[in-house]
Structure 1
Amino acid sequence: MTQGRSIRLFLVDGTPNGLLTAEIMNWTGHVLTGPRSKLSELVQRPECGRTGIYFLVGTDPEGNPRPLVYIGESDDVATRLKQHNRPEEKGGKDFWEKVCLITSKDQNLTKAHVKYLESLLIQNAGQVGRCKLINGTAHEYIGLPESDRADMAFFMEQVRIVLPVLGFGFLRDTHRLSLPEQEDAGASLSEVPRFRMDIKRDNITAYAQEVDGEFVVLEGSQARFEWTDHKHNYRALFKQLCDEGVLVDNGDGHRRFATDYAFGSPSPAAAMVAGRAANGRKDWKVEGTGQTYAAWQDQRVSAAAPAADLSPD
């Protein structure tokens, strides 16, 4: 089992939508984040005068559910953020709504360190595929000594841990799932089952598993070739997955998942398979038993909370 972590959060101005700092115990990194509307206060913070990496995050005006992200580095982040805040015709960036800055409490990050981190983070964000990168191609920085590269690898792992806690999930990796990997990790099938969804009249079968709070449809799962429910909002997501090569033509009148793909819950996962709105809590069933996802989840919750604890006072 993964060991727990302690993250210290501080609301700088005492409001949930203002400036926020975050630190992990025994990590030299320091995180500062806030909305663009608070940029005038943010750039006055001492962290902004240090060497660091930063993320500009916004929504896609074309309706893509994945956020737009720009990853940058600077010796003086405040100056760089002021440049990004200019109108687009003057070299600024209009898309971003939030900023996240990561520096070091001991100020040991150098220009070479943050260039290396920037390169790693751009590559990682592109590989994970949870955002639309504004950067383009990542540059290769290989001039760091081996010991520094090891330190930056650890630093980056802490960044990937703390960002989702702050609402930035674009670096969260999707685990490649298979039954042998689960058994190696010590998890039994009764704890982490594989779910199956069948659309018998169309001869469609899909598989999924739940991991780290997400519902992951497995590579090779089948799906309907076209979206049929033109009024539902999931139609845009179906088109996006087709355009990005997640759902590909299987050559038999169906589509298939070309890679594992994580959804926030079972229902959007079921909708992508069915090509229409679907209730994933009923449509996904435990492989081998036929138990619905809803019944399986209720069984787990009931087993974890004894009847005596659930009875009214």
Structure 2
Amino acid sequence: MSQGRSIRLFLVDGTPNGLLTAEIMNWTGHVLTGPRSKLAELVQRPECARTGVYFLIGPDPDDSLRTRVYVGESDDVAQRLKQHNRPEEQGGKDFWERVCLVTSKDQNLTKAHVKYLESKLIDIATGAGRCLLANGTAHEYAGLPESDRADMAYFLEQIRTVLPVLGFDFLRELTKPSSLATAPAEQPVSRSPRFVLDIPKSKARALAEEVDGEFFVLKGSKARAEWVGAQGGYQGMFKQLVVEGMLVPDGNGHLSFSNDYAFNSPSAAAAVVCGRSANGRTTWLVEGSGQTYAAWQDQRLNTVTPLAEDA
């Protein structure tokens, strides 16, 4: 079992929607985040005068269900953020709503360090596939000694630990069901039974599995060939998956999943498969038993007991 960690969060102005700092015990890194509306206060903070990496985060203008992220680095983050805040026609960026800055408390991060971190973070975000990157392709930066690369590997690990706690999951690795056969045995994962969803009229069938709390529709699953439900809802996601090549025509009147795909809920997965709004908690059935996802989840809850408190 993985060991727990302590993360210290501090509400700078005492409100949950203002500036927030985060630190992990025994890590020299320091995280500062806040909404764009608080940018004037954020750039006055001493962290913004340090060398660091930063993330601009907001909804993708072409698909509000997806997150767009820009990864940057600077030895004067305040000045760089002011540039990004300009209108797009003046070289700024319009999409972002929040900013997250990572610096070092001991101020030992150099320009070379943050260039290396930026390159690695872009690679990680691209591989995770949880967001649309505004950067494009990362430039490989290999200008660090071996010892510094080891230090930055640890720094990256801590960044990937603390950001999801702050609500930013775009660096979190996806553990796809298809990859579990080759995953190291020492990396325990939580897996559900397989679920099935049938659409009798179109003779489509999709299979799904929940891995570490994420609901995956499996590669090769069939979905309705077009969106037939009301406008809105998950229609944008359906269309986007077609554009991205995740849903491809199979030649038999269906769309087929070209890879395992993680949805944020069983209902989102069911809507895309059915081409209309659907309650995933009742439409996904445990393969072989016919038990609904909701009943399976309730059964699990009823079999657990609270841990005893230490004496």
Note whether the superposition's TM-score is higher than 0.5: yes
Task: Judge conservation of contact 2:28–2:104 (CA < 8 Å) in 1.
Answer: yes
Change (3 A) 1:253 1:243: same
Q: Percent identity?
A: 69
- Alignment partners' CA distance in 2, 1:188 and 1:55: 29
Aligned equivalents of 1:196, 1:184: Cα separation in 2: 27
- Contact in 1 for aligned 2:63/2:240 (Cα 8 Å): no
Contact 1:64 1:240 in 2 (8 A): no
Match of 2:66 in 1: 66
For the pair 1:192 / 2:175, whether they are aligned, the reply is no
1:51 corresponds in structure 2 to 51
1:85-164 equivalent positions in 2, closer than 5 A = 85-164=85-164
> 1:29 matched to which residue of 2?
29
**CA deviation after TM superposition for structure 1 residue 234, in Å:** 1.0
Q: What is the identity, as a one-letter code, of the residue corresponding to 1:70?
A: Y
Structure 1 residue 284: Cα displacement? 1.1
The one-letter code of the counterpart of 1:25 is M
- Please list the CA deviations of residues 214-253 of structure 1 after superposition, one character each: whole Å capped at 9, or x if unmatched: 2111222111111111334111110001001111112221
AA partner of residue 139 (structure 1): H
Which residue type is aligned with residue 73 of structure 1?
A: E
Deviates more, 1:90-99 or 1:75-84: 90-99
Alpha-carbon distance in 2 for matches of 1:134, 1:9: 28
Look up the SS of the partner of 1:152 in the other structure. helix
Which deviates the most, 176-185 or 115-124? 176-185
Length-normalised TM-score, structure 2: 0.91
8 A contact 1:223–1:256 mirrored in 2:
yes
Tell me how far 1:187 sits from its aligned partner.
Answer: 6.7
Q: Which residue identity is paired with 1:136?
A: G
Q: Give SS of 2:177's match.
A: coil
Aligned residues: 305
Equivalent residue letter for 1:286: V
Distance 1:196 1:261 in 2: 15
Aligned to 1:282: 282
Displacement of 1:186 in angstroms is 8.4
1:238 counterpart residue number: 238
Corresponding residue of 2:293: 293
Equivalent runs, 1:244-283 vs 2, <5 Å: 244-283=244-283
Task: Please give the per-residue CA displacement for 1:261-282, whole angstroms capped at 9, x wherever unaligned.
Answer: 1111101101111111111111
The Cα shift of 1:64 comes to 3.5
For residue 75 of structure 1, report the CA deviation from its aligned partner: 0.7
Q: Name the structure 1 match of 2:4.
A: 4
Secondary structure of the 1:69 match is strand
Q: Which residue of 2 aligns with 1:83?
A: 83
Q: Secondary structure at the match of 1:299?
A: helix
Cα deviation digits, residues 63-120 of structure 1 (max 9, x gap) = 3311221110001111111121223333222222111000111222111111011111
For the aligned residue pairs, the C-alpha RMSD in angstroms reads 2.1
Contact 2:29 2:155 in 1 (8 A): yes
Q: Which amino acid aligns with 2:155?
A: F
Q: Distance in 2 between matches of 1:112 and 1:101?
A: 17
User: What CA distance in whole angstroms lies between the structure 2 residues aligned with 1:289 and 1:188?
Assistant: 23
Q: Secondary structure at the match of 1:115?
A: helix
Q: Which runs of 5+ in 2 are unaligned?
A: 307-311
- 2:223 maps to what in 1? 223
Secondary structure of the corresponding residue to residue 173 of structure 1:
coil
Question: Taking structure 1 as the reference length, what is the TM-score of the superposition?
Answer: 0.90
1:174 and 1:260 in contact (8 A); partners too: no
Q: Is the 8 A contact 2:189 2:212 kept in 1?
A: no
Pair 251,2 (structure 1): closer, same or farther in 2 beyond 3 Å: farther
Q: Deviations over 1:51-74 (max 9, x none)?
A: 100011122333331122111000
